[in-house]
Structure 1
Amino acid sequence: MNPLLYQVNTRVLLYERGVELGRPATLDDVPNDFLDDIAARGFDWVWMLGVWQTGEAARAVSSANAEWAVEYHEALSDFTPDDVTGSPFAIVDYGVHRDFGGDVALAGLRARLSERGLKLLLDFVPNHTALDHPWLVDAPQRYVGGTEDDLAAQPQNYFRVGDHVVAHGRDPYFDGWPDTAQLNYRHPDLRAAMTAELARVAARCDGVRCDMAMLLEPEVFTATWGDRSVPADGTPAADAPFWPDAIAAVRAQHPGFVLMAEVYWDLEWQLQQHGFDYTYDKRLYDRLRSGDAAAVRGHLAADPDFQARSARFLENHDEPRAAATFPDPAEHQAAAVVTFLCTGLRFLHEGQLEGRRVKAPLHLRRRPDEPRDPVLAGFYDRLLGVLADPVLRDGHWQLLQVSPAWEGNASHDSYVVAGWSVDADSPLRWLVAVNLSDQQAQCRVVLATVLGAGETVHLVDRMHDDTAYDRDVADTVAHGLFLDLAPHGYNVFDLS
């Protein structure tokens, strides 16, 4: 199964809905028409980002941060301080935000999604909590502490809670996130508490996206925090990986629960082995941004199980809008064809389908008005229509080899070509070819072992007005399928 996931910024959705209604909106007010449209487009999952309870501390930090304020004004020409809500990842409690209708409203939304065959994905933020989380007072041993010297030398990385100094959450390469407090995964009490929190979340949805999941890996955590993470109360430090036991415990209560990890630094395979169903594939995204077809092919040649458990995207709430990253519509479309007609989870972000270009900061409740891009909107409509084919959802994907179209022509190196069949032993049913370069390019696709029997192979390009071609099977097997594509051109052929 290669599922389709649609990400929604809950705060923005409810703010815009509230403007329509003339009153604050809750999850009960998410329109059925909105859910119907997501289901009709073929999505399997809806990720409602940012439903959990946040507090005033995060909002105060977001309001006072001068660097973030620059982003607010860049995103909203009419920005006002009332637009600041604070980060949805500075969580006070894994209860649904009071402003959104609480747990009852979430249960109602989940039921409405289920009626349409849609599953609900929510956030789990394992690395840190908000600055006003009750554990900071009630269970301070669950946090990474610091000294007065740490606070004096690194005020950007530490803060005071009563008579304690506590670390801000961070990764090893940057200063701390000033609206967060760092949890201590070397303390067994914290591990038990976070396993219970994950189970609590799992009771209210079908899956979670785990924020910065690799920060909990023992080698990363110890490298970041060192001796500061040794439990100060004399409890023996826990140094085994957290995720395998936590995932097993949650699945014992909720069989079939799905976990997706935000993960970088070549730790994707490691987290898959810990039990994650899907892991972010930022490597593919980065290679597509560089336009390096050879690097894309090399990445897609990795272990098939790794490929099938990769989450592919062109944008999300952390990355710039795809329409801004790939301002040339042809380049955008070529990258999207590679990304979403590959095996794995296909992950699309709200606004991407309409060609939005402004990345709205997550600290804000609203985004700017933007016109719909008819070219990109039409492209994504066609792409989602193609992705409805069962072979592209449940079939067998493979990377195909290409060769020079003629001696001395090296432009075949610009191609990424893949095929889909019903299963590994069946003939090819779809062929996807993309020229990732900014030059006209030619190639021959090696099809000697994957074409079905018959005299003629019929190819219909489902992304280009069903343009059809007939090719002799014997000649195609002997010499390969000749392709000649414009810069950033692509074919999505339905074969029979």
Structure 2
Amino acid sequence: MTELSLSLGHAATLDDIADTELDRLVEMGFDWLWLLSVWQTGPAAQRISRSNAAWRHEFEQTLPDLREEDIAGSGFAITRYAVHRDLGGDEALARLRTRARQRGLRLMLDFVPNHMAPDHAWADEHPDFFVHGSEEDLARSPRNYCRVATKNGPLLLAYGRDPYFDGWPDTLQLNYGNPQLQQAMIGELERIAGQCDGVRCDMAMLVLPEVFERTWGIRPDLFWPKATDAVRREHPGFMFMAEVYWDMEWTLQQQGFDYAYDKRLYDRLRERRARPVREHLCADMDYQDKLARFLENHDEPRAASTFAPEVHAAAAVLTFLSPGLRFFHQGQFAGRRTRISPHLVRAPEEAVDGALAQFYDRLLAVLRQPLVRDGDWSLLECVPVWADNTTSDNFIAFRWVGASHEWMFVAVNYSPQQSQCFMRTPFTELGERSVRLQDRLSPAVYDRPGDDLRARGLFLDMPPWGYHVFDVQGID
């Protein structure tokens, strides 16, 4: 929005997002637009963002010419679930949603279940909605508790946090052990659901009973099944996506989430070893179909700074041609390298990586095919070409099969060495015909005898981090 404001010469609101931009997103193949941090924030969190020395050091690393107005405060320190006045308020969001819907583009917003901003009205009106501390707690753990002045006098409250890190000092921790708080948060969700088509739930596992008890010594009732059911009663088809870690993806899928972040795949790709990635992709399809696959998001380093160019492309082929929801971050296609804190409203200028942009153009063209949206996916076996050649273990291969018997094969040598294998290919229905393999990401075309493919599989001899995405056609 800041970049848009600069191009327009005035402060942009959601009304200034042009129809041509929405058209462009649809043409690229996107089904969803997630707007991060649209909700109203306040001066209390902003003051903390501007005065916190560690955060400010990070901001200065991001923006050497940092100005005070660049630090708006975190979009996760919410004072009210109403669209920020600087973005045009709820009315501007409603108009944007209407324009998006006319194009078949659905809108996703944030829900932050764990905490609120220090100047949220509930601190005055419902202090029992928050986790309280004692003088002993403050003395023992000053980074997790604070004094808050309220209309009813000073309170000693906990910062929002997870069990492994110090609290976020621009937030207050909500108490899910209080049934009235849970009901109030369900009410917030129901209001949000009237303004969008889905929510991405920040750190959704933090309010699970076992996690909350480990963090705060309070055992709450289950929240998510009640919340997701309540919303869907009023808004059938509403979509829930969970930001979730610590191998709790399946737990949240079972509690009503349509999708859960697949941080496990991302971490294994960063390790740059094929076997752990392949093992992860062996999971049941009921699980994999409900994972959100990504190479970067606002919490992770930029993919272009994490993966070398040749590794980046191989990791992207594996990530986005696997089943589930494909989840991209603004600037990823251009190869931006600087992660932007959600406390900031300005990014540094960066040149577009032309080669990476072209790669993503080709990959998005593949992702627009119905085959990889609605087809059936399965992992394929890769076997050694000769007895003492172990490089077949470097391959990850799978296929997509469409309702009209279209086929696509994906093979990646996810390693830093030249590697060979036979990829087992189920071509029995092709009879005696030969097979033409057209690579969708390069000009390569290969014709192979069907009987040889049935007997041994497809021979692959690929360079480090090499990949193929083959359309398959039978020929006489």
Q: TM-score range by the shorter chain?
A: over 0.9
Give the conservation status (yes or no) of the 8 Å contact 2:28–2:364: yes
- Structure 1 residue matching 2:35: 3-state secondary structure: strand
- Does residue 366 in structure 1 map to residue 346 in structure 2? yes
Identity among equivalent positions (%) equals 55
Q: Distance in 1 between matches of 2:470 and 2:431?
A: 17
Q: 1:407 aligns with which of 372, 381, 387?
A: 387
Q: Distance in 1 between matches of 2:294 and 2:354?
A: 21
Structure 1 moving runs of 4+ over 4 Å: none
Q: 1:117 aligns with which of 75, 98, 104?
A: 104
Q: 1:205 aligns with which of 177, 196, 205?
A: 196
- Listed as ranges, the matches of 1:69-468 within 5 Å are 69-161=56-148, 162-226=153-217, 229=218, 239-326=220-307, 328-423=308-403, 429-448=407-426, 452-465=430-443, 467-468=444-445
Give the conservation status (yes or no) of the 8 Å contact 1:427–1:451: no
- Structure 2 residue matching 1:126: 3-state secondary structure: coil
Q: Distance in 2 between matches of 1:65 and 1:298?
A: 42
- 2:124 is aligned with what amino acid? V
**TM-score normalised over the length of structure 1:** 0.93
Q: 2:26 aligns with which of 14, 39, 43?
A: 39
- Listed as ranges, the matches of 1:10-29 within 5 Å are 14-29=1-16
Q: Distance in 2 between matches of 1:353 and 1:451?
A: 39
Q: Distance in 1 between matches of 2:428 and 2:20?
A: 42
CA displacement 1:54-107 (0-9 Å, x = unmatched): 000111110001111111111112111221000000000000000100000000
**TM-score normalised over the length of structure 2:** 0.97
CA displacement 1:289-346 (0-9 Å, x = unmatched): 00111100110101111000000000000000000000x2111000000000000000
- 1:179 is aligned with what amino acid? D
1:471–1:89: structure 2 CA closer, same or farther, 3 Å change rule?
A: same
1:254–1:410: structure 2 CA closer, same or farther, 3 Å change rule?
A: same
Structure 2: state its 5+ residue gaps: none
1:380–1:450: structure 2 CA closer, same or farther, 3 Å change rule?
A: farther
- Structure 2 residue matching 1:431: 3-state secondary structure: strand
Q: Distance in 2 between matches of 1:320 and 1:160?
A: 34
Q: How many residues align?
A: 469
- Structure 1 residue matching 2:229: 3-state secondary structure: helix
Give the conservation status (yes or no) of the 8 Å contact 1:75–1:358: yes
Q: Distance in 1 between matches of 2:46 and 2:291?
A: 34
CA displacement 1:213-266 (0-9 Å, x = unmatched): 00011000001100xx4xxxxxxxx73311001100110000000000000111
Give the conservation status (yes or no) of the 8 Å contact 2:371–2:406: no
Q: Distance in 1 between matches of 2:451 and 2:432?
A: 9
Question: Taking CA–CA contacts closer than 8 Å with sequence separation of 6 or more, which of the two structures ends up with the larger relative contact order?
Answer: 1
1:7 is matched with which residue? none
1:108–1:454: structure 2 CA closer, same or farther, 3 Å change rule?
A: farther
- Structure 2 residue matching 1:284: 3-state secondary structure: helix
Q: Distance in 1 between matches of 2:156 and 2:379?
A: 53
Give the conservation status (yes or no) of the 8 Å contact 1:428–1:451: no
Give the conservation status (yes or no) of the 8 Å contact 1:264–1:280: yes
- 1:152 deviation in Å? 2.2
- 1:427 deviation in Å? 5.2
- 1:225 is aligned with what amino acid? W
- 2:139 is aligned with what amino acid? A
Q: Distance in 1 between matches of 2:361 and 2:41?
A: 36
Q: Distance in 2 between matches of 1:285 and 1:213?
A: 18
Q: Distance in 2 between matches of 1:459 and 1:266?
A: 38
Q: Distance in 2 between matches of 1:239 and 1:208?
A: 23
2:458 is matched with which residue? 481
CA displacement 1:163-186 (0-9 Å, x = unmatched): 321100000000000000000111
- 1:112 deviation in Å? 1.1
Moved more, 158-167 or 192-201: 158-167
The alignment yields a C-alpha RMSD, in angstroms, of 1.2
- Structure 2 residue matching 1:491: 3-state secondary structure: strand
1:481–1:62: structure 2 CA closer, same or farther, 3 Å change rule?
A: same
